[in-house]
Chain A
Amino acid sequence: MKISAIVTLKKDVLDPQGKVVSQTLRNMGYDNIINVRQGKYFEIELNEINKEKAKKKVEEICKNLLTNIVIEDYTINLK
């Protein structure tokens, strides 16, 4: 089973890269840009057919390795 996880900085944490991207977009003429947040995308292939079990595993993986829960949030998407 393939599961994806998206890791982003928490809302209150300054995201300098996202800020630079949004500024650049504005400079390029995209004047309706309000904000850009940059994150990481993971595609995890698991040897598991039970959806719930797989989701639980990926959640554990997100907590233990993929995110620093002090500053980052994650969202999990089942395919």
Chain B
Amino acid sequence: MSTDKKPLSAKARAVGERIGSLRDFLEFLEENGQCITWTDEIMPEPDVRNIAVAAGRDSMNGPAVIFNNIAGYPGKKLVLGVHGSFTNLALLLGHPKGTTIKELFYDIISRWGDDKPLLDFIEPDAAPVNENRLTDNFNLYDLLPLYRINEYDGGFYIGKANVVSRDPRDPDNFGKQNVGIYRIQVQAPGEFTLLSVPAHDMGRHIMAAEQDNVPLKIAVMLGNHPAMCMFAATPVGYDESEFAYASQMMGSPLRLTKSNNGMDILADSEMIIEAELMNGVRSFEGPFGEFPGSYSGVRKIPRFKVTAISHRNDPIFENIYIGRGWTEHDTLIGLNTSAPIYAQLTKDFPEVVAVNALYQHGLTGIISVKNRFAGFAKSVAMRALGTPHGTMYLKNLIMVDDDVDPFDLNEVMWALSTRTRAEDTIVIPNMPMIPIDPAAEIAGKGHRLIIDATSFMPPDKLGSDSKIVTPPAGPEIDEIAKVIQLLQNGGQL
């Protein structure tokens, strides 16, 4: 998939060339006041969770936090909140602090695609991730500063790993090789469970391997290039490569190498855990505090056995706080959830202006659209429900006109207040739904709600005698608002 691309700015190109790994990005964030180090000694629980939640309160400007003094883990480093604020994303894309969410959305859209991948392949011996290699006596509890993310989680979770797996029925297909983020619960020093469902690409790989009784080998990448994490969480097409999308967004090559068990992996990640599915085995997993802000319950899920571990010297364990929002999860995947829905909708409906699916992985979405004729927004809403992500996630859809910024909730509420009538609300019962929606009467099914908050147009006569006040708006006013902010913060013109 691709969209019309604009050339990257010189600043964006420079940042893309500079950042090749998590380490590079942390250094860059620190230079820009967006990464702090917590040096006081802390306990794994509850201190890590407490600090992560406090740092994550500011979704616009919260910093990444490095922990280097966790009791019982001498010498180990943990980092949280790398994608915890929109400013951190702005810096990654070569923008200054103060960049708005809407500006980031349009920039990501302009870079969106996988038709011009920038991938360099290097020999495994030259890859930093292979500086150290273990082939037996694995102990994840010792290698990683693990901790309980939320107090009633069933165990210690790895929440931000990028997991690579191949389609067992088409193992040489680069595009069908999947990179995804799946929650991983450590179950033993050398074993873990991994939650994927049939709707996920990796769920398909697991089912195919067990059906054909062939091994499913995977590579769990920890501490990755920040663009990789964004695309591992992005719902791209089954035969599209997350590596390709990530490199194209950065406008700079990603360095790949081969894991010993045959996966393409990032050469500069902090750690690679090679593992193999234990065919037919299901183990208790959960609860786990999930992105809707509630715990998903105990289940029996697939289990994996570690077969080798490679890691850089002094590896940094990158993890995430996830729970009731706003959390890093929302910032990490929000724009990358919105962008593919926008790209898919505009193929059929170029009148779509923007898509805001920031909320709980798109359980609520706001779409602005220029009505072509009366009722048009409802048709666009139906199409959104039929996009790959919409099928399972878009529970509540609010449709607004093209004069409403869907990222500005004050404007959205204005549209709801002035342009909605009750009969412009549609409920579609018993649709498919992600199983962890806490409002579901039956897990895996749910209702869809469409609120058409677009204005009336002929032949609808309602509202024909009201005229909208048109206050000054547009780039000029946006620029003045930034100047005001600058002056307020002590800056000078």
Same complex: no
A residues with CB within 8 A of B: none
B residues with CB within 8 A of A: none
